[in-house]
Chain A
Amino acid sequence: MNLKYLTIEAARELLDLKQITAVELVDYYIERIEKLNPELNAVLTPTFESARMAAKVSDERLSAGKTLSKLDGIPYLVKDVISTAGVRTTASSKILEDYIPPYSATVIELLNSAGAVMLGKTNNDEFAMGSSNESSYFGPVKNPWDKTRVPGGSSGGSAVAVSADLCVFSLGSDTGGSIRQPASLCSVTGFKPTYGRVSRYGLLAMASSLDQIGPFAKTAEDVETVLEIIAGNDELDSTSLPEKYQPEKETKKYRLGIPQEFFGEAMDGEVKSIVENAIKKLEEAGYETETVSLPSIDYALAAYYIIMPVEVSSNLARFDGIKYGYSPLKDPDSNIESLGDVYLKTREEGFGPEAKRRILLGSYTSSAGYYDAYYKKAQQVRSKVKADFDKAFEKVDLLVAPVSPIPAFKLGEKTASPLQMYLADVNTVPINPAGLPAISIPAGHTKAKLPVGLQIVGNRGCDNKVLNLAKIFQTIDQTHQLQPND
């Protein structure tokens, strides 16, 4: 039986028709991980024993006609910034190398209740900071389309997990593009929901006003299936939206806006044509498009690189070597005497250079004397960025744009200059400060067979419109069905 590249829908059918058991399905992915992961390095902590047990219980439910949901028995992988009770959660950092959370994130509890089967935790850029998955303490992740190249980041492991068919779907997180950019570079569908749509309880916080958890899958349809399970109000997350997620049927063709500032000079020529062709396909399918302008967008990346590090410096202050994680106190021979020294040593030895860079930057721009010039200014620019999007969405329903200005770059190519790396996110970053839903769907491949994604952005709360257009695109274009060679 060919189990290659199953969608949730296809797997569900096989299970329901009893053509396969959940145990056989889990064994298939375990075999793929064992075969491919040594080179790809996408999975950090496998949970194969418990996955097999969960699959067995799922089969019992299926036989008794008590399937819990569409996801019952479906194997998935989780980015290692999402807490999983009893299962090591490291944020791909040395500072949490041995940390075992005593509780699970709300999204994990919801997926458990739905019967989904967790196969393990995936690699990512340390503390979700990066666009290439090269800053992980556990080594870089390779792009299955070209293993000398990066998969993108920070959710590189989760993107590769779906791209290389190591699982049916996976979870990532997106603060400035960390789901969408790797989805684009790995030719999978990756969705960042409206801020507040999915609970952040249990997500190791990076930038609390920007972070969102979201799914990776082979199709937009699958992404919506996962979203329906993980979205919803959570009293443990006071920023979670009160309303439930409601899918929507398109009644009138959506009006599409093409944001001109997203097609800047830095854009690779092949990427530009692929994205333009994808938009043309939508036009040929009857969608009207118009150019829109978002004048503050050019400043969004700068504002983000002030706001995000400030929030990071605050969120990462908890890693102090006292309550959990890496600590010189663990060494009984350590002669550390003062509390201050514990803090300094823990964080000096536990954090990687990018995490340190962002904490230092955040401390500087929020410190007395600099707060107004940097942080307050950035929050004002954030307001302008949000207003630009609000204005655009008065004229159009959705925006269509590139995700990454370049395809997957070579490992090591951008690590010398942090700023060069940051500029790779110029099209994804503006979306998070405005809290908008956005998806990356496969749109084509370059001559070198490198994937290129199309980004669809909606207004706050319009996750269903974004997913609808993505699903429709995937009926007129088959790029998402292409798979990398093993």
Chain B
Amino acid sequence: MAKISKEDIIHISQLSRIGIEEGEIAKFQADLENILSYVEQLNQVDVTGTEPIAQVSGLVNVATEDIAKPCEIDTKILLSNVPRLDQTAISVPSILEEG
């Protein structure tokens, strides 16, 4: 039976960059424990000698020609979804130093 601690939830929420309120932690703990307990049945499967696979198409290293093409989309349109623009630059807050 998987056991997820409060610290685990805080840790993975930081890894996932998702802010979590104190009040939400318990529900996520319970949900994840439930789901992980279910998926842990994979421990019953004998996988000795089985290679893990990540894809089924069998395609390998599919590449395109290294030819530059002009971008047909107007810069204004490309930037139209940016939350905070600084002229034509995407404005990014600074990364604060610790302590």
| Residues of A participating in the B interface, judged by any CB pair closer than 8 Å | 98-100, 102-103, 195-196, 209, 235, 238-239, 241, 296, 299, 302-303, 305-306, 313, 317, 320-325, 327, 329-330, 336-345, 347-349, 351, 356-357, 359-361, 363-365, 367, 374, 376-384, 386, 417-419, 422, 433-435, 460
Contact = CB atoms under 8 A, between A and B. Distances in A.
Contacts of B47: 377, 380-381, 384
Given A235-B64, A363-B16, A384-B47, A336 B53 contact: no
Contacts of B95: 338-340
B23 interface: no
A190 B90 CA distance: 41
Contacts of B92: 322, 339
B1 interface: no
B18 A351 contact: yes
A345 B56 contact: no
A164 to B, nearest CB: 32
A382 B19 contact: no
A324 B19 contact: no
Q: Nearest 9 pairs between A and B by C-beta?
A: A379-B52, A348-B19, A435-B56, A344-B19, A327-B83, A324-B81, A380-B47, A238-B62, A343-B17
A313 B18 CA distance: 11
Contact of A383 (B41, B43, B51): B51
Given A241-B57, A422-B38, 9 more contacts: A102-B73, A302-B39, A313-B16, A336-B93, A360-B18, A383-B50, A383-B51, A422-B35, A460-B56
Contact of B42 (A299, A317, A339): A299
A347 B19 contact: yes
B88 interface: no
A364 B35 CA distance: 12
Contacts of A357: 28, 31-32, 35
Contacts of B21: 348
B77 A102 contact: yes
B57 A196 contact: yes
A344 B35 contact: no
Contacts of B87: none
Contact of B83 (A209, A324, A360): A324
Contact of B91 (A99, A305, A329): A329
Contacts of B62: 238-239
Contact of B39 (A306, A327, A336): A306
Interface in B70-94: 73, 77-78, 80-84, 90-94
Nearest to A460: B56
A102 B79 CA distance: 9
B34 A330 contact: no
B9 to A, nearest CB: 7
A239 B60 CA distance: 9
A292 B59 CA distance: 29
Dominant secondary structure at the A interface = helix
A363 B9 CA distance: 10
A386 B95 CA distance: 45
A40 to B, nearest CB: 29
Interface residues of B, number: 54
Contacts of B50: 380, 383-384
Contacts of A359: 16, 18
B15 to A, nearest CB: 5
A453 to B, nearest CB: 24
A321 B96 CA distance: 17
B17 A344 contact: yes
A317 B28 CA distance: 19
A239 B59 CA distance: 7
A296 B20 CA distance: 37
B83 to A, nearest CB: 4
Interface in B2-59: 4, 8-9, 12-13, 15-21, 28, 31-32, 34-36, 38-45, 47, 50-57, 59
A115 B76 CA distance: 28
A196 B16 CA distance: 29
B83 A329 contact: yes
B88 to A, nearest CB: 14
A344 to B, nearest CB: 4
Nearest to B77: A102
A377 B28 CA distance: 24
A364 B17 contact: no
Contacts of B84: 327, 329-330
Nearest to B75: A102
A102 B52 CA distance: 37
A433 B56 contact: yes
Contacts of B32: 357, 360-361, 364
Given A299-B42, A313-B16, A419-B35, A100 B93 contact: no
A361 B39 CA distance: 11
Contact of A102 (B51, B64, B78, B94): B78
A338 B96 CA distance: 6
A361 B77 CA distance: 35
Contact of B56 (A305, A378, A434): A434
Given A302-B39, A383-B53, A360 B16 contact: yes
